[in-house]
Amino acid sequence: MAARLALRGGPGAAGQRPWLLLAPLLLVPLLARPAEALVEGLYCGTRDCYEVLGVSRSASKAEIARAYRQLARRYHPDRYRPEPGDGPGGAPPSAEAFLLVATAYETLKDEETRKDYDYMLDHPEEYYSHYYHYYSRRLAPKVDVRVVILVSVCAISMFQYFSWWNSYNKAISYLATVPKYRIQATEIAKEQGLLRKAKEKGKNKKSKEEIRDEEENIIKNIIKSKIDIKGGYQKPQVRDLLLFQVILAPVHLCSYIAWYCRWIYNFNIKGKEYGEEERLYIIRKSMKMSQSQFDSLEDHQKEMFLKRELWIKENYEVYKQEQEEELKKKLANDPRWKRYRRWMKNEGPGRLTFVDD
Successive 10-residue mean pLDDT values, the chain, 357 residues: 39 44 39 53 86 90 90 76 53 70 88 88 82 76 79 91 87 85 84 69 65 83 74 72 88 92 90 89 89 80 90 91 86 75 61 43
Q: What is the CA radius of gyration of the chain?
A: 42
Distance between start and end Cα atoms, the chain: 123
The model carries a pTM of: 0.46
Q: What is the reported pLDDT for 11?
A: 44
Q: What is the reported pLDDT for 253?
A: 92
Q: What is the reported pLDDT for 229?
A: 63
Which residue intervals of 76-144 are DSSP H helices?
Answer: 95-109, 111-122, 127-139
The answer to whether the CB of 168 falls within 8 A of the CB of 235 is yes
Q: What are the phi and psi torsion angles at 297 (to 5°)?
A: -70, 155
Residue 144 CB contacts under 8 Å (≥ 6 apart), including other chains: none
Helix-strand-coil split of the chain, %, nearest 5: 70, 0, 30
Instruction: Give the helix/strand (H/E) hosting 190.
Output: helix 179-192
Q: What is the reported pLDDT for 200?
A: 59
Q: What is the reported pLDDT for 231?
A: 55
